[in-house]
Amino acid sequence: CVCVCVCVCVCAVFSVPVEIMYVILTQGQTATLKCTFTTISSTPYLFWYKQEVNSYPKFILTRSRSSADNSPEFVKDRFDAELKDSSVPLMIQDLHVCDSAVYYCALSEVVCK
């Protein structure tokens, strides 16, 4: 049995509350990592990043109302997220040991006045 440890840190970029969650799963399982936010923007952009030990954060994906883009390293077959009204949970399917990391969610707002 191989365990996969996933830690989620939600960054406070604009109005994403900081929430730390530890998830311990076994290889092959699916992880769903929560990210909730509040915004006044009608066009929010949400981002997920992965940071391994002694490394910099790597861009996984971004979601907006009109687009869904993944980094080539993180294919949609395994890494996916659906932007809902106030959340954008990250799903990692078929977990591997190399998925052990800290995951960050960030929000970018486009506000026109």
CATH of domain 3-108: 2.60.40.10
> For the stretch 13-38, what's the b/e string if a residue is b when 16 or more beta carbons lie within 10 angstroms of its beta carbon?
ebebeeeeeebebeeeeebebebebe
Measured between alpha carbons, how far is residue 3 from residues 19, 105, 112 in Å? 23, 23, 46
Name the residue ranges covered by the structural domains of the chain: 3-108
- State percent of the chain over pLDDT 90: 48
Reported as a single tens digit per residue, the pLDDT across 31-59 is 999 998 888 878 888 999 999 999 999 99
**pLDDT exceeds 80 at position 102:** yes
